[in-house]
Amino acid sequence: MFTERRMAAMLGQIARQDLVEIGPEQTVARVAVLAHVAEQYGYAYDRAHRTGHNDMQILVRMYRDPHPEARAREAATITAHPQAGNGGTVPGLRPGTIKPLPEAQEAVARLKDRIMLDVMAQAADKRQKAIAWGSCGAVVLMLLVLGMPIAALAGGAALAAFLGGAFKLGAIRRQRIARRLTDAGFVPVRDEHGRQRFLQPGRQLPGHASPFAS
């Protein structure tokens, strides 16, 4: 039932809108599978970000791809899966599940990489880092005010080491994801915020290639 509701909601957006939002979902794996289904209806990945309580959910945005091959893919999908979202087969998925077919697993994995890269970049941007370091400083100041200089020194050092390690580990993970995408033929670009994104060859970021993106 969950799968059918999700599919029906997503396909309803696809039937009405040039921009669709998939999610929010709890896991990258699930939202990547749904994004792959949307691709079969002629949509292209735009971006992903965390949302919801404590940023625990992931929302993916996709736009209708105007390229002829995307429109041909949409027509073929509608013909092959006329009852998708209404109890019928869904392109790229095992019947009645949210699991990709073997032939779709590589495409889903690369979508997962692109989503992860966007989500991790959000966590590593300057604002998030400033908040993290500011919280560390606030803890140290509070301990000093309470007359606990040794605890302030030890606690501040421990928090600084933890944050530094977390940011470094995040950077290493992003480098590994970027390498996988490059090896798969995706092209690295920078968006308007200076974040690294990866596109299929010959494509541009939404707002350039897509007349529907804001």
Which stretches of the chain drop beneath a pLDDT of 70? Answer: 1-3, 122-137, 139-140, 143-144, 151-152, 155-156, 160-167, 206-214
pLDDT tens figures, 114-156 = 999 888 876 655 656 666 656 666 766 776 677 777 766 776 6
pLDDT at site 131 = 62
Q: How far apart are CA 8 and CA 34, in angstroms?
A: 11
pLDDT at site 210 = 45
- Check: CB of residue 67 under 8 Å from CB of residue 151: no
pLDDT at site 105 = 94
Q: Provide the whole-model pTM.
A: 0.76
- Check: CB of residue 108 under 8 Å from CB of residue 100: yes
Q: In terms of residues, how long is the chain?
A: 214
Residue 181's closest CA among 162, 200, 164, 167?
200
What count of other Cβ atoms lies within 10 Å of the Cβ of residue 121? 21
pLDDT at site 66 = 86
